[in-house]
Amino acid sequence: MSESATSEPTQPQIYLISPPDFELSTFPDQLAAVLDRHDVACVRLALASHDEDRLCRAADALREVTHQRDVALVISRHFLLAERLGLDGVHLEDGARSVRKARKQLGTEAIVGAHCGTSRHEGIGAAEAGADYVSFGPLAASALADGDLAEAELFQWWSEMIEVPVVAEGGLTSDLARALSPMTDFFGIGAPLWEAEDPAAALTTLTQAFQA
């Protein structure tokens, strides 16, 4: 996952985020169907569970799907599991705080990303600490995200001032995708996609807003 803010603008890439809970008997096939129809840069295993066995079984199942298709797979929070399970990296959820520790543990080749909420300060700290990308969100209010939102101005500033790639995630709609596409490198697309009857078709509809 790499883009330069100083290069010519390109359309954002797709960064898929798993649901917080899913059936191991069905979700890997769902994911495979989406990856077979779309060019995806990265997949994040984002289970809410802290059960190690559950996380390991899920990671094994998704790794088989993603690596067969040459798509990177990262795991939320658990960078020790990322190393043990042979994943491509970790997505941290505490801003800049764990970036140096994760980088030291995983080495220079692993992906280390950091979610920084709506904080420019946290984003800068994560970038300086060695994050490969910074994500901001949520983009829209919901029952689970009714606080501060990551506004377009944040992405505009980042794209003009910082070279580290940026991910826009959380409540993405076609209108938001269209508005933010000139100023973000990746769109993080998660749980609502997987609730669709045909996630691959739903992703086609969404990406038409920024891949014209």
| pLDDT (tens digit per residue) in 39-91 | 999 999 999 999 999 999 999 999 999 999 999 999 999 999 999 999 999 99
CATH number at residue 69: 3.20.20.70
Whole-model pTM: value is 0.93
Residue 117 lies in a domain: yes
Q: Which pLDDT score is estimated for 86?
A: 95
Name the pLDDT band for 146 (thresholds 50, 70, 90). low
pLDDT of 8 strictly over 50: no
In contact, 81 and 61? CB cutoff 8 Å:
no
Is 163 within a domain?
yes
Q: Tell me which residue range forms the domain holding 174.
A: 13-207
In a domain, 3, yes or no: no
pLDDT band per the 50, 70, 90 thresholds, residue 9: low
Closest CA to 97 of 83, 78, 116: 116
In a domain, 212, yes or no: no
Backbone torsion region of residue 4, taken as left when φ is above 0, otherwise alpha when ψ lies between -120 and 50, otherwise beta = beta
Cα gap 114→69, rounded to integer Å: 24
Instruction: For residue 6, tell me if it sits in a domain.
Output: no
Mean pLDDT (whole number) for 161-173? 96
